[in-house]
Amino acid sequence: MDDFDLAHPRTESDSTGRLARGLGEDLLIEQILEASPVSIVVVDSSGEIEFANERAEEMLGLERSEITSRTYRQPEWNIYYDDGTPVPVDEHPITRVLKTGRAVYGFEHWIELPDGTERWLSSNSAPVFNASGDVDYIVVGIEDATALKDREDKLTSEEIRLVELSSEQLFEPFVAAADSGFQIDIDEVVRLPDGTALEYLSATGIPTKTVHSVAAEDSTILDAKLLKSTDEVCRLEVHVGDLRVPLVFESLGGQVISLIKPQSDGSVVLTGRLPGDLDLRTALGEIRHVCSDIEVVSHELDYSPRLLYNIIEDVLTEKQLVAVQMAYYGGYFETPRASSGDELADRLGITRKTYNRHLRKAEQAIFEQLFEASGKGIH
């Protein structure tokens, strides 16, 4: 490594060659570093970056010459912990290797790239010693762990905002047509490929005929189908074409729980969930495009797990997810069936055979997560 000419300007072309000569086996070392499936940079004992392979260029969003013109300490790297705190130089893994002579494995941090995007990186930093036993170089292998980080975040509990909203515009058609004390819950919203959507509703304390009559007067509703009716509750599948409040919640990453819920004082509210990190004013602005008189009655943050559902969302294709949602909420699995396979296929504009294929693949993927990926094998 004494062969390195540190006075010679470092360029993209000679950086690799000088490193290879310094390490001895010129061609082999150069090929190994360039062929590595991970990003690799090499830092000298002064902190200057002597080498970066092509994958490092791609990951860091910089030309090789730009990378090797920097030191690892420069603030331009914009690296920070998960909580947004910048990584201090004395906590940087390269600093730790230089001080202790020991490798640092699995160091994770965010980095902001020149184009403003962010990546979650995982690095392993190992020392290369000279004949005197001092750290001469540090080889750093870096992997883009952003996808894994996103998956990890989804698999842990997430903070959500529980909201109660009021709106005469939204409630009046139901209040005028029914006695007090009724409740309408939104079980699920399913987006269809043609841009329309299905809302699955459960209504208690209100006659089925009344719900149908209100739906018939609503210009945003294309059609409504009764799925189940008892003395206590009726379930409907409502086909909607225009934006409605439940669809706005869904587009914001949230969900309407109850479209109408009675309160102890005789009033009614809409209840729902919104992402905890979504600004409430932004959410209200979007909802008011559809329902102009929406006002907040109350809101609070809650910490709630959604483990299995998030896993299922990850492993299913969009078509598979829609197929299984429609089957479940449309009563396909009930006895007798509230919706036939032909009806569900027609909603999606596909053949029964294609729908069955999507549904079977979805069921298989869900069972794999339940019995295999979870570690709960069949014994």
- Tell me the domain boundaries of the chain: 12-150, 156-304, 306-374
> Would you place residue 379 in the very low, low, confident or very high pLDDT band (cuts 50, 70, 90)?
very low
pLDDT of residue 64: 92
Residue 158 or residue 256, greater confidence = 256
Across the chain, mean pLDDT equals 86
> Would you place residue 36 in the very low, low, confident or very high pLDDT band (cuts 50, 70, 90)?
confident
> Would you place residue 158 in the very low, low, confident or very high pLDDT band (cuts 50, 70, 90)?
low
Residue with tokens 């909802």, as numbered in its chain: 287
Residue with tokens 């990951």, as numbered in its chain: 59
pTM of the full predicted structure? 0.56
Three-state secondary-structure class, residue 92: coil
- Alpha helix ranges (H) inside the chain: 12-23, 26-35, 54-60, 64-67, 93-100, 146-155, 168-177, 208-217, 245-251, 280-288, 307-315, 318-329, 341-348, 352-368
Other CB atoms closer than 10 Å to residue 130's CB: what's the count? Answer: 12
> C-alpha dihedral over 50, 56, 58, 59, to 10 degrees?
-130
- Mean per-residue pLDDT, 175-198: 88
Q: How would you class 272 by CB atoms within 10 Å of its CB: exposed for 0-12, middle for 13-18, buried for 19 or more?
A: buried
- Mean per-residue pLDDT, 109-113: 93
- Mean per-residue pLDDT, 85-91: 92
Residue 306 or residue 28, greater confidence = 28
CATH number of the domain at 306-374, please?
A: 1.10.10
pLDDT of residue 333: 95
- Mean per-residue pLDDT, 53-64: 93
Class of domain 12-150: alpha beta
> Would you place residue 25 in the very low, low, confident or very high pLDDT band (cuts 50, 70, 90)?
low
Three-state secondary-structure class, residue 278: coil
Query: What are the φ/ψ torsions at residue 134 (nearest 5 degrees)?
Result: -90, 155
Whether 4 has a pLDDT exceeding 90, the answer reads no
pLDDT of residue 257: 96
- Mean per-residue pLDDT, 83-108: 93
Q: Name the maximum alpha-carbon separation found in the chain.
A: 90
